[in-house]
A = this chain, B = another copy of it.
Amino acid sequence: MDREKVDTFKYVREMNELLKDGGLFLVAEGRDKKPNAMTIGWGFLGTMWAKPVFVTAVRHSRHTYRLMEEAKSWTICVPSKGMAAALEFCGTKSGRDFDKFREMKLTAKKGVGVDAPYIEECPVHIECTTVFKTDMKPGQLEAGIEGEMYKTRDFHMLYFGEVKGVYAAKDAEKLV
């Protein structure tokens, strides 16, 4: 499936609607070169340092955390409408226990401009390289959110990835 580079913000509304309901995939591989996908419901596509940037949040306890620490690049993959089972699996199972690509029959393909793989079955994907990260600190957070989201003190690392390109399959507009 050939992909063309599209405007960074072409699918920003659809992506935000998916973050609210269903999710996107965060795909990374560590030094062992085993690709892994985690379903995310939190994220931001915007601009910082005069560059397009995607912000994603990963808890320290997650398998993906090690991969993000080892890899310089990662991708955000936008599912098509028929991928609910993969979103569910990748959002509830750990890459420590499962090869999610094999279990869900997903195809990992090397990024167009980065080393990180993307999911070929996803009609749109974003390629990013980490340019900034910051650990969330307790006490800087509104008390209600801290109580609800961080009962076990398992805070998030925020990764700011420079967007190197947004790529869409030819029929992406019909699929997203």
Contact = CB atoms under 8 A, between A and B. Distances in A.
A131 B13 CA distance: 23
A50 interface: yes
Work out how many copies of this chain go into the complex: 2
A8 B20 CA distance: 11
Interface stretch (A89-97, A103-111, A133-141): A133-141
A133 B138 CA distance: 10
Contact of A46 (B44, B141, B162): B44
Nearest to A10: B13
Given A131-B145, A132-B145, A142-B131, A53 B46 contact: no
A80 interface: no
Interface in A38-91: 41-53, 55, 57
A131 B147 CA distance: 13
Interface residues of A, number: 39
A137 B132 CA distance: 9
A95 to B, nearest CB: 22
Given A9-B13, A46-B19, A136 B134 contact: yes
Interface of A: 8-10, 12-13, 16-17, 19-20, 41-53, 55, 57, 130-134, 136-137, 140-142, 145, 148-149, 158, 162
16 contacts: A9-B13, A13-B13, A16-B45, A41-B50, A42-B46, A42-B48, A44-B44, A44-B55, A46-B46, A49-B148, A49-B149, A51-B145, A130-B142, A131-B142, A132-B142, A132-B145
